[in-house]
Structure 1
Amino acid sequence: MSLKRALGPFDATMVVVGGIIGSGIFVVPAVVAQRLPTSALVLAAWLVGGGIALAGAFAFAELAALFPQAGGEYAYLREAYHPLVAFLFGWASLLMIQGGGLAAVAVTFAHYALTWMGRDASNAAAWSAAAITVVAAVNVLGAKPGSRLLNVLVISKMGALGALILGGLLLPRASSNGPAPSGPAPTSAWLGFGAALVPILFAYGGWQS
């Protein structure tokens, strides 16, 4: 039995782009700015994180060429170590890694949606659960409806990022006389740099998809 090809090149591209451009880019920059004292270090941290992500993507591209099989990370771990390692990773990915990322995306969506509507964000958990339920229901209908929804969401995210970039380039610079950003102050530049890389790598995550 052969599987029906329901997604085209554009749909497949949107799947990868949607996996990389998630909610992290809308939340992480503020966290990184709290952990590093200068804008130069902030930019350097993003460049280092991008280099790490690029190296990982190249490594996965080589692995995909060596093992052209379905399964991705599961197949690579099975071939490199042992089927048990791949099995345990699969369950960890389902219950913790992907589940945690999905929760982060849903919570971010709920906070932004409630703020945009001028409502209290204290009940973001219910909105997050509702968002996950709706997206899951659409995907249950089939690959094509899920792909259409994904395409709309990815294009919307790219438009929002484009608007933010243009705003940063064209709008006048805001005054810096406001309150200092809250957050734990790093004890040293190196510790702050390492602490900033953690959310940055989360924002860059998705290249393995």
Structure 2
Amino acid sequence: MEEKTSFKPSLRLIDATMLVAGSMIGSGIFIVSADITRNTGSAGWLMFVWVITGFMTLTAALSYGELSAMFPKAGGQYVYLKESYNPLISFLYGWSFFTVIHTATIAAVGVAFAKFTAYIFPFFSEDNLLADLGFFRISAAQLLSILVIVLLTVVNTRGVNSGKIIQTSFTLAKLLSLLGLIVFGLFAIQSDVWSANWQNASIWDLHKLNSDGSTESYTTMAAFGAIAAAMVGSIFSSDSWHTVTFIAGEIKNPKKNIGLSLALGTLIVTVIYLLTNIMYTGVLSLQEIASADKDRVAVTASHVIFGNAGTVIIALMIMVSTFGCNNGLIMAGARVYYSMAKDGLFFEKVGHLNKNAVPALALWIQCVLASIWSLSGKYGDLLDMISFVVVVFYMLTIAGIFILRKRLPEAPRPYKAVGYPVLPILYIVMGLAFCVLLIIYKPQYTWPGLIITLAGIPVYFLIVKSNRGKKERKITASSVE
């Protein structure tokens, strides 16, 4: 294939903003409020979890704006960690990103698309097994997930403009449909349900609400653990906002537009998430939210709002949402592996662009691993396990702002972190509290992600040793000649 030496700056501010918003909104907002409600037991704490997650997301996005303006290169967070710390730290991020964080997310979003497609076309149900070998099963939902991942990979290998068209159009469609759901839901608010959920006596009564209606009280410290556990879902639903930084080399005027798109995209999604949850508490009792079938709160709410047509309406909305979300994830993720390859820390050929000026091999390798995760059926568990690691890397990246301001005080900073140093410090403190509470009260959400990340250390040194050996052989060959 004819190789291009550089990316094509083709994405405008609206395209970058739609990439931020589109990558954030997948299936989470339609589902995770059930688990948050079970952990918190009240409307006030349900909203607090979403508010604190939104605040953290906005704070991180505003902080990343400074780094994106300093280093408007493909690779985003991987590049920021390398510039702030060292190649080992950035490799561990890239390793975790490739092995689980990003590829398992693509798989989870793909299967979510298939599950809701089954509401309209039952053949694609996860219960429809196409192969059962005892130790290994393949369902129609998993197969459709893989087909969608492959399709979007093909589209993105044909150039950034192809992916841009899907991303911008599908994100606008899902934003408008979500706003429509919110508006219709607010008109359908039931006064008795609203009053019961928001009465002063119970609004801040933090307790565990079981699906059968029973409740359990928390000790003071266990209450903090419950909030941290509840935030796992909201953080997953608000993640991937930084994907726009991965594709910096293809954004017009990146020093300005990346930071602006981060701010606009995360703000839009945060407001929509808050309004959606307000709508939920207006049409459903807390018990109905907590006990929604398979946690599909939006489906239950839609039945109240639209009647029997509600299921099809939500299914179509989630299909549009997850399809667009996966396009953004697939488009952006491959640029991280491209940057790693350029540093000699991934397969060498991944660091080349095809005739359409995109890293095609990186896209296909990502496609293969995401497809394997789709077949495994373990992506959901993995995503719970890596929330801890995701926040750790966010904290390290934001701490890098302080390091770089001291190390490179004269470096051009077209955009500076809003609220520096207060907001970045506040994010780090809140992130530390979240991680410590998970370690204490939900260790199953922490140690698997840590093991996966730390497993990258020996891999890094093996790669470095191999690269050193290649250089020595080249030098020897040159001297012999």
Superposition TM-score, scaled by structure 1 size: 0.85
Distance 2:226 2:98 in 1: 31
Distance 1:146 1:186, change over 3 A: farther
The counterpart of 1:109, out of the listed 113, 117, 121, is 113
Instruction: Quote the residue 1:201 is aligned against.
Output: 235
Instruction: Quote the residue 1:60 is aligned against.
Output: 64
**TM-aligned CA deviation for residue 44 of structure 1:** 0.7
The counterpart of 1:181, out of the listed 201, 208, 211, is 211
Distance 1:156 1:69 in 2: 29
Distance 1:136 1:28 in 2: 28
* Counterpart secondary structure, 2:171: helix
Q: How many pairs align?
A: 206
For the pair 1:35 / 2:54, whether they are aligned, the reply is: no
Distance 2:168 2:73 in 1: 26
Q: Which moved more, 1:79-88 or 1:35-44?
A: 79-88
2:55 counterpart letter in structure 1: G
Q: Deviations over 1:26-52 (max 9, x none)?
A: 222222222220111100111111111
**TM-aligned CA deviation for residue 191 of structure 1:** 2.7
Q: Which moved more, 1:98-107 or 1:80-89?
A: 80-89
Contact 1:63 1:76 in 2 (8 A): yes
Distance 1:164 1:103 in 2: 26
* Counterpart secondary structure, 2:118: helix
1:94-105 superposed matches below 5 A: 94-105=98-109
The counterpart of 1:121, out of the listed 117, 126, 133, is 126
Distance 1:26 1:163 in 2: 14
**TM-aligned CA deviation for residue 12 of structure 1:** 2.1
Q: Which moved more, 1:154-163 or 1:195-204?
A: 154-163
For the pair 1:148 / 2:182, whether they are aligned, the reply is: no
Q: Which moved more, 1:128-137 or 1:157-166?
A: 157-166
Contact 1:34 1:182 in 2 (8 A): no
Distance 1:141 1:187 in 2: 55
Q: Deviations over 1:121-164 (max 9, x none)?
A: 32321121111111111112221121112223212321331132
Distance 1:100 1:47, change over 3 A: same
For the pair 1:192 / 2:209, whether they are aligned, the reply is: no
2:80 counterpart letter in structure 1: Y
1:142 counterpart letter in structure 2: G
For the pair 1:11 / 2:11, whether they are aligned, the reply is: no
Distance 1:173 1:117 in 2: 32
Instruction: Quote the residue 1:166 is aligned against.
Output: 183
Distance 1:174 1:109 in 2: 34
1:26 counterpart letter in structure 2: F
Distance 1:153 1:105 in 2: 15
Q: Deviations over 1:73-113 (max 9, x none)?
A: 11111112111221232122122111121112112111111
RMSD: 2.6
**Larger Rg, first or second structure (1 or 2):** 2
The counterpart of 2:81, out of the listed 73, 77, 82, is 77
Q: Structure 2, unaligned stretches of length 5 or more?
A: 128-138, 194-209, 244-481
Superposition TM-score, scaled by structure 2 size: 0.39
* Counterpart secondary structure, 1:4: coil
Instruction: Quote the residue 2:253 is aligned against.
Output: none
Q: What percent of counterpart residues are identical? A: 33
Task: Give the structure, 1 or 2, with the largest relative contact order (CA under 8 Å, sep 6 or more).
Answer: 1
Distance 1:58 1:7, change over 3 A: closer
* Counterpart secondary structure, 1:116: coil
Q: Deviations over 1:155-195 (max 9, x none)?
A: 2321331132123201143997xxx7379x77623332111
* Counterpart secondary structure, 2:69: helix
Distance 1:95 1:61, change over 3 A: same
Q: Structure 1, unaligned stretches of length 5 or more?
A: none
Distance 1:3 1:121, change over 3 A: closer
Distance 2:224 2:8 in 1: 51
Contact 1:35 1:186 in 2 (8 A): no
Q: Which moved more, 1:3-12 or 1:133-142?
A: 3-12
Instruction: Quote the residue 2:303 is aligned against.
Output: none
